[in-house]
Every structure is written in C-alpha cells, then in structure tokens.
Chain A
Amino acid sequence: MLPNRSRTSVLVFLLPPLLLYCAAVLFPILQSLFLSFFSWNGISDMEFIGLDNYVRMLTADDIFWRSFFNALLYLAICLVLQLGGALVVASLLTSLRRGRELIKTLYLLPAVISTVAIAFLFVRIYSIDPVGLLNQLLHWIGLGTFERAWLSDVNTVLAAVSAPEGWRFTGLYMLIIYAALIAVPKELEEAAVLDGASKWTLFTKIRFPYIRPVWITTTIMATTYGLRGFDIPYLMTNGGPGQSSELLTTYMYKTAFTSTDFGYASTISVFIVIECLVAVGLILFMLKRKADS
C-alpha cells in the first residue's frame, strides 16, 4: 500500500493520460454511437432515424455481411500466419545455438517497412502480366497450372491480401513469444527431460502452460489488429474485384468518405467496436476455461 501522499501523486500523474485516452478513444466511439442514429451526408441537416441504420445493416445490406465474413476469414489467415508462424519460429530459435540475432532481425524486418511499400511489393509479387515472383516460382517448379492473376481472381484475392498482413507481423509476435520462451526455467525442462518427456510433451506440458499469459496477450493483440485490418487490402485491391476482398473496415471507410453516408458508416464502426470487444471476451473466456480445467 502506498502512503497517502504518493497515492495522490500517482493519481495526478495518471490523470493526464487518462484524459488523453478519453479524448482520443472514448469520445470518438461515443460520437460514432450518437451519429449511428442519424442519416447525414455531411453537408445537409442531420435527420434522426432511430434504429433504421442498424436494421438496414443487419437485414438488408448484402455487402455488409459479405464484408463481415471476409473479415473473419482475413482474421483467421492472419492469426494462423502470425501466431502459428511466430510460435514455430520462436520455438526453433530457442534450439538454435548461433545466428539467433540475425534471424530475429530478418524476421522483424517486415514490421518496420511502411505499409504502402509492402502493398506495392506484393502487387508485383502476385502479378501475372508482367509475370511476378509467385507465378514465376510456380512455373519453375513445374506448377504452371496454378499460375493466375492472384489479385483479380475472386477465389484467391482474399488469401492474397491476408498473407502480406500475416507475414508482416509474424516477426513481431515471434519476438514476444521468444522472450517468453527463454524465460521458462531451465530446471523445469531438465527435470522433465530426465523423467523421459518427449519434445512434444515438453512443449505442451511445460513450455506452453508457462507462456500462457504472454500467449493470451499476443492473441488479443493479433486478433484486434486483424479485425481492424484496413491498409493492405485497401491499397492492394480497394476491396475488389467486386466485394471479394472487402472488409468491414474498408466498407466503413467507403461508406463514410465515398458515399458520404456518415450515419450508416458510424453504425458499421459501432459494430466493429462491439465485434472487437466480443472477440477479446471470447478469447479470455476460452483460455481461462482451458487454464482452469
């Protein structure tokens, strides 16, 4: 327990960031909530329409649902690449004796490249005319039948725009998980090895339970980032062809700034906020139940 005076000073120091947080995060969310009950094109008078926007979104908007399911698939691909990839690489790194720093740096590199550069890079990689890297590689290894315009094909475009986002942050999560893995006490591992535990048992019974708190944080981070994913799909395909790579975020942006339907766009943004909160709640619930059992 802090003495009274220092408690006051802690509160005083915590207040400015709290105010900043309220102004920068809570206020816009509340404002969106307010706007979502109106029909407003930005230049005419705002018209109160109650829950009409919500009814339209949930019952009459095919693009909304398409974007929602696209966003879930986008999230799934990002999570597999980011968390799965990060865990595999981090585990392999711990067993490496030399060159760890170099590999860590190489994996982290994409996280520091600007999004626009990554988007342009991948547009070139996926290109068919002129032939990009991916199609060239497929051709070289004799899989020429799989060559295609990855970003124009409605069946591949969503995976194609998710991969760069996943690839980009694998290194970052790898670093966090790696830091957690090397903190696992060596004595525990050695004792288990002496008892005859296999590498798999070692991982599932000792290492993973030990890094669970970090894993939860990383999963929440990756999930909320994934649900808010916007820049790479927007830059690479602008949601196209058709609505094949449209996410809730890109759809919201277009509704607000292209269709100038600010009320309806706010409704979609309220949905995104709720979706993120639900996702975080679900993750916490599932991981906690697993830990309890």
Chain B
Amino acid sequence: MKKLIRAAAVAAAAALALSACGGVGASSDPANVSPTGEIKPREISWLLSRPADGAVINIMKKLADDYAKDHPGFALNLITTPDRPSYIQKLETLAAANKLPELFDTDATPFAQHLAKQGKMVDAEKLLKTLDIYDDYRPGALDYQRFDDGSLYMIPFQFELEYFWYNKALLQKAGVTVPKSLDDIPAMCTALRSAGITPIAIDGQDQWPLERYVAYQPFRAAGPEFVQKLKKGEAAFTDPAGQKTVEWMAALGKAKCFQDGFSAQGYSDAQNQFTSGQAAMYNIGTWELPSLATDKLNSAVRDDVDFFTLPTTAGSATAANEFVSPSGIGMAVNAKTYDPLVSDFLKFALAKYPAEYAATGALSPTTNVQTTVPANATPLYKKALDTADTLGAKQAMPWDTQLDPTTNGRLQQELVLLVQGNITPEQFTSTMDSTIKQNAPKFFK
C-alpha cells in the first residue's frame, strides 16, 4: 500500500513538472514582443466575436492556410461567438479560469484593462512598432483601442464610421430637413410622427444602439473626456452635460422618435423598417454599406437613401467631422502563450491583411491601402468611404466599452425606461449616479 501511495505521489509530481514544461518558450513578459527561439508550428486559437462568414474571418483563414504551407503543422482555430453579450461572458469566464487562448477579442473595457495590468496581454504598441507597421495604422483606429492612460493592448482589424442614414422622400413628405443640431431631432420626430412615419428605426433588443444616443450630447457639450470622468465617478449625470443628455433622451422618447415596442425588436427588425421605407432614419455604421449602398438595397428606397453625420450643437466642444468612428472589437495577444510561432504568424498575417481586407470593399484600419468600391455599389458607397479621410482628431467612444459592466447594464435598462417615459429624468439621474458611485470604485481603483 505504501508503495502504491509513493508511486502516486511521484506520478503527481511528474505530471506537475511536465505541465510546467509546457510553458517553455512562451514569454510571460508583456513588453517582450520579440521572443527568441525556434518556431515550432502547432495549432493556435483565436477566440473572437465577429460574423462567422465575415471578411475578417475569411481573410484570416486564408492567411493561416498560406502560412501553414511553409509551416506544416500550423493551424489557426477560429472560435467565434458573434453575439456580443454571450461572447463577453465566455471571455470573462475563460479569463477567470486562466484559460485564454493565444489570441482573443476584446474592447478597451475596464475588464480588459485589469487583464493588461496583470500582464496577461502583450503590449500591442510595441508589437506593431517592432513589426514596423505601427505608422501604417490610422491614428483614430488605434486610439479607439487604447485605454484611458493611452496604452495600447489591442490590434484593430476594421475601421468604421457611424452615420445617420435617412430617407429623403420621407423627410420631404413630413416637411422636415436634415437636422442641423442634435436639439432639432425631437421636433423632427414629432413632425414625422404626425405624417404617419416612424422617425427612427432602432434595434432595442441589443441595447447598445440606444446607448449610442446617450453618448452624443455629452460628446458635443463636453468632448470625449466626459465619459472618461463619468465612469470613474469624477463627473455625474447631474452635471450640465449629463443633464443635457438625460433631458434630450427623455425628449426623444416623448416625441416618440423610436418605433413602437422598440425594446423587444432586434437588429434585422430595425434594418428592415428602414430599408422597407417605413422608418425615416437609422443610425448604423459603414459595416452595413453592402446592404445600404449597393443594389442589394430595396429598389423602392435606393435612390432616396442618404446619410448625415452626427449633428453638432450650439457651442459644441467637438467639430462636425468628429463622431463615432470605431475600429471594432480589437484582438489581444495572450502574453502567457506568446512565443516565436505566434509572433511570426502575426508578422506574416498583419502585413498581408490590409490589402486583402480593403479588396472586400471595407475600410482598412491602415492607410496604406485603397478600398475597392464594389461593382454593384451606389454613389453613396464612395461618399461614405471618402468621409474617413476628413475625420477630425477626437472621436465619440461608445459608452458600453467605457463603463464598468454593472453600471453599463443598469444604464442600458434605465435608458429604455427613460425613453419609454416609465421613469422621470430625475429618477434616471439619481439611479445612475448612485449606481456609478457604488460600482466605479471597484473597477477603477
């Protein structure tokens, strides 16, 4: 019996030692971006939250196949969860279990910053500089991925601009013009409603589209710094910029700007309302160009569709050419599993990616390639792409990437109630300020 126990103890010790050996060659220093050693091809995984048949995945699959030709045994396992809330839960659970794969997607959230602080992500700025491609990236694309302290741990794969798409014929029918100021929108909605038109189609189910709206007034009134302060409890909804957005959101609700029952309607419901000519406006990014600016768009509305950028307000702190221009969810590199193979593959893939991506008709996060306008595009397609060249230096950050998750969840819930008129602006303000006070210190200590 004693022998048996001794044998088991030896086996356990050996197993522990072996599993420790598994990490040989991997660097765990986030600043060490060029690990030395032999490239040993193996399968690596990328946990991502992008459309399964989208351009990013298709291109990366192709590049991985090309890389595997010279490196037999290499494979890139792409595990995608396009539904963002489910993805975030998966990511956080894997992070909690310390089981993150070689590459994983994340926004510049407080949670990601925790991971970066713990040295679990490779310093992306150093990595891109070492690969000598840092200067190719659009500053805006990189800024979107940065944490508040300016550090960069995620690599962008997209560059998008968010516009207000509108239907010229419906606006004309209601006798209204494109709003010059954000403050014109409630009155515009009232006019559209009295003409029997749904003013704005919105995907209420996913909650982030409505959360975009709450970011607009403070971005114009106080610039991008407002949310950075708000999330830490250094600014509040009781501040002038905060009150402005609360009152404006309530006004949008009162003017019935969004379609009836919007909170239970999904992404495609909202898009269908706009593309079928029922709704006059639709706030979405250039990732929808293929369905809004090509011959795939319903011919009945094709010639009537146009877009405008985020309107300014009187005394605006930001310029008209500054609005929401996200570079999408970024890719982080796991510091624990970063080794010569991962480094070499990234060097190969990141150099070839922009040209392949631009050829699909999308905006590359880099400026060294020209986007190919598809053959079936309407003139609007090029106009939408060209706007990228005139962007200002500041950008409006989506609040769901900024706030701590508990505050964010509560904000999304309370916003619906505010817009539906179930709570007053005062109730909203006090609930949100106390939620931030309670949760921010835990996340931003």
Query: CA of A37 to CA of B185 in the docked complex: distance in angstroms?
Result: 49
Q: How far is the CB of A166 from chain B (nearest CB, A)?
A: 19
Taking a contact as CB atoms under 8 Å apart, the answer to whether B261 and A257 are in contact is no
Contact of B85 among A149, A258, A262 (CB under 8 A): A258
Taking a contact as CB atoms under 8 Å apart, the answer to whether A239 and B413 are in contact is yes
When distances are taken between beta carbons in the complex, the residues of chain A under 8 Å from B96 are: 42-43, 260, 262
Is A128 an interface position by the 8 A CB rule?
A: yes
Query: CA of A127 to CA of B409 in the docked complex: distance in angstroms?
Result: 24
The answer to whether A241 and B420 touch (CB under 8 A), given A44-B114, A128-B261, A151-B263, is yes
Q: How far is the CB of A190 from chain B (nearest CB, A)?
A: 53
The answer to whether A127 and B261 touch (CB under 8 A), given A240-B413, A241-B422, A242-B422, is yes
Is A123 an interface position by the 8 A CB rule?
A: yes
When distances are taken between beta carbons in the complex, the residues of chain B under 8 Å from A258 are: 85, 88-89, 405-406, 409
Is A41 an interface position by the 8 A CB rule?
A: yes
Is B95 an interface position by the 8 A CB rule?
A: yes
Query: CA of A261 to CA of B409 in the docked complex: distance in angstroms?
Result: 13
Q: How far is the CB of B74 from chain A (nearest CB, A)?
A: 30
Is B299 an interface position by the 8 A CB rule?
A: no
Q: How far is the CB of A63 from chain B (nearest CB, A)?
A: 8
Contact of A149 among B260, B422, B442 (CB under 8 A): B260
Q: Which of B75-93 contact A (CB under 8 A)?
A: 85, 88-89, 92-93
Query: CA of A50 to CA of B439 in the docked complex: distance in angstroms?
Result: 19
Taking a contact as CB atoms under 8 Å apart, the answer to whether B92 and A42 are in contact is yes
When distances are taken between beta carbons in the complex, the residues of chain B under 8 Å from A238 are: 205, 207
Is A230 an interface position by the 8 A CB rule?
A: no
Taking a contact as CB atoms under 8 Å apart, the answer to whether B88 and A240 are in contact is no
Q: Which of B362-412 contact A (CB under 8 A)?
A: 405-406, 409
Q: How far is the CB of A148 from chain B (nearest CB, A)?
A: 8
Taking a contact as CB atoms under 8 Å apart, the answer to whether B261 and A152 are in contact is yes
Max count, chain A CB within 10 A of own CB: residue among B85, B204, B422 = B422
Is B416 an interface position by the 8 A CB rule?
A: yes
Contact of A243 among B88, B93, B413 (CB under 8 A): B413
Query: CA of A257 to CA of B273 in the docked complex: distance in angstroms?
Result: 33
Q: Which residue on chain A has the smallest CB distance to residue B406? A: A259
Taking a contact as CB atoms under 8 Å apart, the answer to whether A42 and B420 are in contact is no
Q: How far is the CB of B82 from chain A (nearest CB, A)?
A: 16
Is A223 an interface position by the 8 A CB rule?
A: no
Is A173 an interface position by the 8 A CB rule?
A: no
Is B359 an interface position by the 8 A CB rule?
A: no
Q: How far is the CB of A144 from chain B (nearest CB, A)?
A: 14
Is A254 an interface position by the 8 A CB rule?
A: yes
Taking a contact as CB atoms under 8 Å apart, the answer to whether A123 and B414 are in contact is no
Taking a contact as CB atoms under 8 Å apart, the answer to whether B264 and A242 are in contact is no
Q: Which residue on chain A has the smallest CB distance to residue B410? A: A63
Max count, chain A CB within 10 A of own CB: residue among B115, B259, B265, B423 = B265
Is B134 an interface position by the 8 A CB rule?
A: no
Query: CA of A238 to CA of B409 in the docked complex: distance in angstroms?
Result: 11
Is A126 an interface position by the 8 A CB rule?
A: yes
The answer to whether A149 and B264 touch (CB under 8 A), given A129-B259, A257-B89, A260-B96, is yes
Q: Which residue on chain A has the smallest CB distance to residue B278? A: A129
When distances are taken between beta carbons in the complex, the residues of chain A under 8 Å from B413 are: 239-243
Contact of A257 among B93, B414, B416, B422 (CB under 8 A): B93
When distances are taken between beta carbons in the complex, the residues of chain B under 8 Å from A151 are: 261, 263-264
Taking a contact as CB atoms under 8 Å apart, the answer to whether A42 and B263 are in contact is no
Q: Which of B40-86 contact A (CB under 8 A)?
A: 85
When distances are taken between beta carbons in the complex, the residues of chain B under 8 Å from A259 are: 405-406, 409, 439
Is A237 an interface position by the 8 A CB rule?
A: yes
Query: CA of A149 to CA of B260 in the docked complex: distance in angstroms?
Result: 7
Is A154 an interface position by the 8 A CB rule?
A: yes
Taking a contact as CB atoms under 8 Å apart, the answer to whether B422 and A42 are in contact is no
What string of 1s and 0s marks CB contacts (under 8 Å) between B258-273 and chain A?
0111111100000001
Taking a contact as CB atoms under 8 Å apart, the answer to whether A154 and B420 are in contact is yes
Is B118 an interface position by the 8 A CB rule?
A: yes
Query: CA of A238 to CA of B114 in the docked complex: distance in angstroms?
Result: 27
Taking a contact as CB atoms under 8 Å apart, the answer to whether B261 and A43 are in contact is no
Taking a contact as CB atoms under 8 Å apart, the answer to whether A242 and B416 are in contact is yes
When distances are taken between beta carbons in the complex, the residues of chain A under 8 Å from B261 are: 127-129, 149, 151-152
Query: CA of A242 to CA of B262 in the docked complex: distance in angstroms?
Result: 13
Query: CA of A154 to CA of B417 in the docked complex: distance in angstroms?
Result: 9
Is B166 an interface position by the 8 A CB rule?
A: no
Query: CA of A236 to CA of B262 in the docked complex: distance in angstroms?
Result: 13
Taking a contact as CB atoms under 8 Å apart, the answer to whether B260 and A128 are in contact is yes
What string of 1s and 0s marks CB contacts (under 8 Å) between A139-173 and chain B?
00000000001011010000000000000000000
Max count, chain B CB within 10 A of own CB: residue among A123, A240, A254, A259 = A259
Is B111 an interface position by the 8 A CB rule?
A: yes
Contact of A241 among B85, B111, B198, B417 (CB under 8 A): B417
Q: How far is the CB of A238 from chain B (nearest CB, A)?
A: 8
Q: Which residue on chain A has the smallest CB distance to residue B408? A: A258
Q: Which residue on chain A has the smallest CB distance to residue B90? A: A257
Query: CA of A240 to CA of B419 in the docked complex: distance in angstroms?
Result: 13
Taking a contact as CB atoms under 8 Å apart, the answer to whether B264 and A152 are in contact is yes
What string of 1s and 0s marks CB contacts (under 8 Å) between B164-202 and chain A?
000000000000000000000000000000000010000
Query: CA of A105 to CA of B115 in the docked complex: distance in angstroms?
Result: 53
Q: Which of B429-445 contact A (CB under 8 A)?
A: 439, 442
- Can you give 21 A-B contacts (C-beta < 8 A)? A42-B95, A43-B118, A123-B264, A129-B265, A149-B260, A151-B264, A152-B262, A237-B264, A240-B416, A242-B416, A242-B422, A243-B413, A257-B88, A258-B85, A258-B405, A258-B406, A258-B409, A259-B405, A259-B439, A260-B405, A262-B96
- Give 9 closest A-B pairs by Cβ, nearest first: A149-B261, A42-B96, A151-B264, A257-B89, A259-B406, A242-B417, A241-B416, A152-B261, A152-B263
12 new A-B contacts, CB < 8 A, other than A152-B204, A152-B263, A154-B417, are A42-B92, A42-B96, A43-B118, A44-B114, A44-B118, A126-B264, A149-B261, A151-B261, A152-B262, A236-B264, A242-B422, A242-B423
